Amino acid sequence: MASKSESKDLVDDDGVCVTLDDDVCVSLDDSVLKKPKLEEKSTEAENNDAKGGNDNTEVQISIEDQIKEAAKALLKKKIPTIVILYEGTRFLLFNSDEPEAELAAIVCEDESMLHQNCGTLMKVLREFMENYYGKLHFVTKELMMEIPCLELTLCEDNIYNEKITFNDILSIFEILRERSIERGENGIPDHLNVQIAVRPRFVSRYNSLVELTESDASLSNIKPFSNDECNPLVLDDEIDGGEVVSEIVVTGEMEIEEID
């Protein structure tokens, strides 16, 4: 008859109780009895992380400062000479360190307008022209900035004016001019010349056509009569005795007030 084995209770260092028989050998190691510990960050590591975050903030601030300084330098950059010509009179678009002879005035005193959209610049140009020549001179006209060397015309009512700046146009001119100088080409302009021209404004012409439909006018009334010094309007008048006297009358161009 087999004798019953004696049992022994063992308690390991971690407080785990295991019952063993005398004839059973069990090997327990730490990998079975002990759970892995979670790695904890030391206080020193946390401080290093915090310090790294501050470094990132400082780098971001530094970049913003560089951008601001670059913007200031751009505004302080010397503006090249841009000459505006209208009816034989020459103006400077912006103040320049290279003054041209016989220039009447500066169109735009605010040099930051070079970097504003062309729609805003056109408003400044119109205000200047109206103050210099009189508002009635342009009331029904659309201003156009013609740049002969680029074969480019910037119209006042162009919908793309809000998307570009005059500095964009100036940059194109300077890049192409520099290449022409390098290649030794002839007839290279020293500066950008802009000619101001006018044409009937669409809204003004359209409104005048609407007025024609409200009268008894026909297509023969579309083209107005010529009335200038070369083709004056002649008025005939009959006086006593049947004699006809012709009177030559020269009047200015009829202006039509623009309807908002």
Residues 208-240 as b/e (b if ≥16 CB within 10 A, e otherwise) read: eeeeeeeeeeeeeeeeeeebeeeeeeeeeeeee
User: What does CATH list as the number for 82-200?
Assistant: 3.10.20
Domain boundaries, the chain: 82-200, 205-249
pLDDT tens readout for residues 197-208: 999 999 888 888
Number of Cβ within a 10 Å radius of residue 37:
6
192-200/141-147 β-pairing: antiparallel
The one-digit pLDDT tens for each residue of the chain (260 residues) are 444 444 455 545 555 454 545 554 444 444 444 444 445 545 555 555 555 555 566 666 777 777 766 655 555 667 889 999 999 999 999 987 665 556 889 999 999 999 999 999 999 999 999 999 999 999 889 999 999 999 999 999 999 999 999 999 999 999 999 999 999 999 999 999 999 999 999 988 888 889 999 998 889 888 754 444 555 444 444 444 555 444 443 334 444 444 44
Token duo for residue 235: 């008025």
- CA angle, corner 86, sides to 81 and 89, nearest 5? 75
Cβ atoms of 79 and 96 within 8 Å: the answer is yes
Residues 6+ apart with CB under 8 A from 11: 17, 18
> What number of residues does the chain have?
260
